């Protein structure tokens, strides 16, 4: 069952976040990006950088580069320029072939590997959806917007990771 996004109030506590978003299915992805930005603004996030890529398949390589840089800076104690979390946003709509499922599986696996390898939270909201009705509900409305939820998850994970220490 699709759960509505709760109205949690997070504080940023100096978090610096990155959003990697595809330009494919722009109507839906742009709405998630805007919802995420709005939520991060409410939380008074210090810095949000947005990186746009052509499609969902290209998201992991940019996330990996950002996470690698964040990981290196954290090791050299210049954490002021480190991303606390990376939010990945995209929409994949199923078609008549298995192509969408292959893309979705590859992206999911790659994003998991990025966060495990570099120990930087990667918030996975690259949605594999059956149709545009599902996309409208999850991306365009406020009640179930996955961009808002992604921002909340990023803030929560940034706090957890900061609490774990080096």
| Residues classed as catalytic | 99
Q: Where are the alpha helices (DSSP H) in 119-145?
A: 132-135
How far is residue 83's CA from residue 81's CA, in Å, rounded to a whole number? 7
Starting at the edge strand that comes first in sequence, how are the strands of the sheet with 47-53 ordered? 47-53, 16-22, 85-93, 122-129
**What are phi and psi for residue 7, nearest 5 degrees?**
-95, 60
How far is residue 125's CA from residue 160's CA, in Å, rounded to a whole number? 19
Could you tell me which residues are beta bridge partners of residue 39? none
Q: Where are the alpha helices (DSSP H) in 2-145?
A: 26-42, 59-75, 99-118, 132-135
Give me the count of residues in the chain.
Answer: 166
Q: Say if residues 51 and 36 touch (Cβ distance below 8 Å).
A: no
């Amino acid at each position: 069952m699709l759960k509505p996004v709760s109205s949690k109030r997070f504080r940023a506590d100096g978090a610096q976040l990155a959003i990697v978003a595809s330009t494919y299915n722009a109507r839906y992805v742009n709405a998630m990006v805007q919802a995420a930005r709005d939520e991060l603004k409410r939380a008074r996030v210090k810095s949000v950088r947005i990186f746009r890529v052509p499609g969902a398949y290209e998201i992991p390589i940019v996330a990996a580069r950002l996470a690698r840089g964040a990981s290196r800076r954290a090791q050299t104690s210049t954490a002021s320029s480190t991303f606390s979390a990376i939010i990945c946003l995209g929409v994949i709509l199923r078609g008549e072939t298995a192509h969408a499922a292959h893309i979705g599986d590859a992206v999911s696996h790659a994003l998991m590997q990025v966060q495990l390898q570099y120990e930087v939270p990667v918030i996975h909201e690259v949605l594999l959806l059956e149709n545009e009705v599902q996309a409208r509900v999850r991306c365009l409305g406020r009640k179930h917007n996955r961009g808002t939820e992604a921002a909340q998850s990023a803030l929560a994970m940034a706090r957890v990771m900061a609490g774990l220490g080096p």
